[in-house]
Chain A
Amino acid sequence: MIPRPDPSQETLVLNMGPQHPSTHGVLRVVLRLDGEYVLEAHPVIGYGHRMHELMGEVRTSSGFYANVGRMDYGGALSFGHGHVLAVEKLAGIEVPPRAEYIRVITTEMNRIASHLLWFGAFLLDLGAFTPILYSFDDREFILDLLEHVTGARLTFSYHRIGGVARDLDDKFIEGTRVFLRRMRERLDVYDKLVTGNVIFRKRAEGVGVIDKDTVLKYGATGPVARGSGLAYDIRRVEPYSVYPDLEFEIPTATEGDSFARYRVRLAEIEQCLRIVEQALDRLPDGPVQAKVPKKVKLGPGDAYQAVEAARGELDYYLVGDGSDVPYRMKIRPPSFSNLSLLGEVCQGVLLSDLVTIMGSLDLVIPEIDR
């Protein structure tokens, strides 16, 4: 229940948002405060609701595809990857290996860009202005590369059912290798600039501790689960695409606080670089688009596809009725479950720590609202 003002008690009901800068989108959190302490935090969502699921049930799969990138503007390629994989699974379409490698390369580059966006924004929330200038500099590098191959900078719409829209060229591959070298050096810079900073450590360590059981109860995934000691990454526990062929580790931390989630994400950037490097080395020759019938008929039957998006596990549940329009399309965005535990974690924290906790969850509101 949304907290209401109660004159008989010395508490204050405060609306944080829907236009608050640290909610990163139109999220409203209704708080009951005792002085500076949060007694209750009640997220109110739905301001950016566009009913993507209904659009998915009246359009063909390729017609709907352009929608998926509009949900998570930070990591649009993971959302696209999950969607085409789900459709291909239900329609029984084989994808050429080169296309699958290209999907992984671009998705991982996008994941780095998403983590860089989070890095800058999270530290900005905590009052550190400089890091965002560094991380956006590197993010621009990635966006330029992705723009070169996909034609867009945020809403890429790069996948096609059965492949990808365009092959990688030498300019992208050379540019990516330059980026890999550069980013490894930059990670050290980030580390020196932020990780040891006393003010940052005091604001992040021990703040917003999420234990393993809370993660399971709420279905939190991604760096939130991994920061609480669960090595839960769909790329490893339920391998899809070409991830089984690639070597990488799943960084985890056991503390479960905001600082643990920070460390996990930075370590993940390093692993993404490893994945991209290996995938570029092994990139097979061949076509990037399978032969696909004009009407991609789905089912009858249902299929479930889970992928690891930048913020956690993203699932598509498709029910087909034998036509080319899905009968039911359910999208399970990672931030939805990650945000749902906020009310439990925020009891008794300082108002300023609430900003840290929300920042460390890496919320993207349009994907929660869909």
Chain B
Amino acid sequence: MVDEVRAALEAAGAERADAVDHGALGVHVDARVPAGALRKAVEVLRGWEFLIEDVVGVDAAPEMMVVYHFNHVGGGCRVRLRVLTDRESPEVPTIQDIFPGANWHEREQHDFYGVMFAGHPDLSPLILPEDAGDLRPLRKKDKRLKSLGDVLPAFAPPEAGGEDA
């Protein structure tokens, strides 16, 4: 199952889809997907009895990351898709027409980080009040902001000595 999903994700345009240790990390497949290929990768999962878990933003420098989690109903295959996007004006395509459950998750991340989900029909505040405006409470202040390679060694640029995961 894991290998089939990895192959299908790579065929759909994922940069890489690694099988990782579920006991230590909690997922079976960890994939990096360019924003342009996200919808295709999610459509692959939609065809396989996957259910959507959540959409998570992670604020970091120089790029922020949007993480999608899916789980297979039979177990044994939890999938994580990571999409990198520009920190100043983050934008990724919506997947709420493929998984309608993503509608609320995307609105929530729009509330917290200001991520634009292109094609989403209604990005009005879901959890924050209507007049929250540009509050973006989970954006890291300069003092707390870390580079993505520091928190996730797999994303460290090679010349900085990060290991290639």
Does A304 lie within 8 Å of B151, measured CB to CB?
no
Which residues of the partner chain A approach B160 to less than 8 Å between Cβ atoms?
A: none
A301 and B129 form a contact (CB under 8 A): no
Which residues of A are found within 8 Å of B6, using beta-carbon distances?
none
Partner of A302, one of B25, B99, B144: B25
- Chain B residue numbers with a CB within 8 Å of A340 are 100-101, 103-104
Are B53 and A332 closer than 8 Å at their CB atoms?
yes
Are B127 and A369 in contact (CB-based, < 8 A)?
yes
The distance in angstroms between the C-alpha atoms of A7 and B128, with both chains bound, is 30
User: Are B99 and A219 closer than 8 Å at their CB atoms?
Assistant: yes
List the B side residues contacting A344 at CB < 8 Å: 100
B8 touches A (CB below 8 Å):
no
Check B117 for interface membership: any CB of A closer than 8 A.
Answer: no
A51 nearest in chain B by CB position: B137
A305 on the B face (CB < 8 A): yes
Contact A320 B127 (CB under 8 A): no
Instruction: Tell me whether A330 and B101 are in contact (CB under 8 A).
Output: no
- Is A53 an interface position by the 8 A CB rule? yes
Q: Which of A167-175, A210-218, A349-357 is found at the contact surface with chain B? A: A210-218
CA distance A57 to B112 in the complex (A): 13
Set A237, A327, A328: member contacting B75, Cβ < 8 A: A237
Residues of B within 8 A of A327 (CB): 58, 146, 151
Give the CA-CA distance A301 to B72 in the complex, in Å: 24
Measured in the bound complex, the distance between the Cα atoms of B126 and A321 in whole Å is: 29
Contact B25 A216 (CB under 8 A): no
Chain B 50-82 interface 0/1 with A at a Cβ cutoff of 8 Å (1 = within): 111110101100000001010101111010100
CB distance from B120 to the nearest CB of A (A): 12
Q: How far is the CB of A335 from chain B (nearest CB, A)?
A: 12
Out of B52, B56, B71, B121, name the residue touching A328 (CB < 8 Å): B56
CA distance A245 to B138 in the complex (A): 40
Residues of B within 8 A of A46 (CB): 125-129
Residues B49 and A301 in contact, CB atoms below 8 Å apart: no
Interface flags, A231-274, vs B, CB<8A=1, else 0: 01000111000000000000000000000000000000000000
- Whether A299 lies near B51 (C-beta < 8 A) is no
Which residues of chain A are within 8 angstroms of B138 by Cβ–Cβ distance?
53-54, 57
- Closest B residue to A305 by CB, please name it: B26
Residue of B nearest to A217 (CB): B100
Cβ-defined contact, B137 with A304, below 8 A: no
Contacts of A89 in B (CB 8 A): 24, 26
Q: Inside 8 A of B100's CB, which chain A residues have their CB? A: 217-218, 340-341, 344
Q: What is the interface size of chain A, counting residues whose CB is below 8 A from a CB of the partner?
A: 49
At the interface with chain B, which of A132-140, A158-166, A311-319? A311-319
B128 touches A49 (CB 8 A): yes
Q: What CA separation (Å) do A238 and B124 show in the bound complex?
A: 35
**When A46-B129, A218-B100, A317-B54 are in contact, do A230 and B73 touch as well, CB less than 8 Å?**
yes
* Given A54-B138, A304-B26: A232 touches B73 (CB 8 Å cut-off): yes
Interface size class, chain B: 35 or more
Q: Which of A51, A317, A370 contacts B56 (CB 8 A)?
A: A317
A46 to chain B, nearest CB (A): 4
A336 and chain B: residue at smallest CB distance: B104
Task: Check A337 against B101 for contact (C-beta < 8 Å).
Answer: yes
A320's partner among B53, B54, B151 (CB-CB below 8 A) is: B151
Q: B126–A304 contact, CB under 8 A?
A: no
List of A residues within 8 angstroms of B50 by Cβ? 216
Q: How far is the CB of A356 from chain B (nearest CB, A)?
A: 22
Chain B residues in 8 Å Cβ range of A198: none
Q: Which residues of B contact A219 (CB under 8 A)?
A: 51-54, 99, 101
The closest CB in chain A to the CB of B25 belongs to A303
**Inter-chain contact B150/A330, CB cutoff 8 Å:** no
Contact A328 B153 (CB under 8 A): no
**B127-A330 in contact (CB<8A):** no
- A237 and B53 in contact, given A54-B137, A304-B25, A340-B101 (Cβ under 8 angstroms): no
Binding site for B on A (CB under 8 A): 1, 45-46, 49, 51, 53-54, 57, 86, 89, 215-221, 225, 230, 232, 236-238, 299-306, 313, 315, 317, 319-322, 327-328, 330, 332, 336-337, 340-341, 344, 369-370
Interchain residue pairs with CB less than 8 A apart (17)? A86-B26, A217-B101, A218-B52, A219-B51, A219-B53, A236-B75, A299-B151, A304-B80, A306-B53, A306-B78, A315-B54, A315-B69, A319-B58, A321-B146, A321-B150, A330-B54, A340-B104
The 8 closest A-B pairs by CB, nearest first: A237-B75, A304-B26, A218-B101, A219-B52, A46-B127, A332-B54, A219-B101, A330-B56
Given contacts A216-B52, A341-B101, 18 further A-B contacts (CB under 8 A): A46-B126, A57-B138, A215-B51, A217-B52, A219-B51, A219-B53, A219-B99, A230-B73, A232-B51, A232-B73, A238-B71, A300-B152, A303-B26, A327-B151, A330-B54, A330-B56, A332-B53, A336-B104
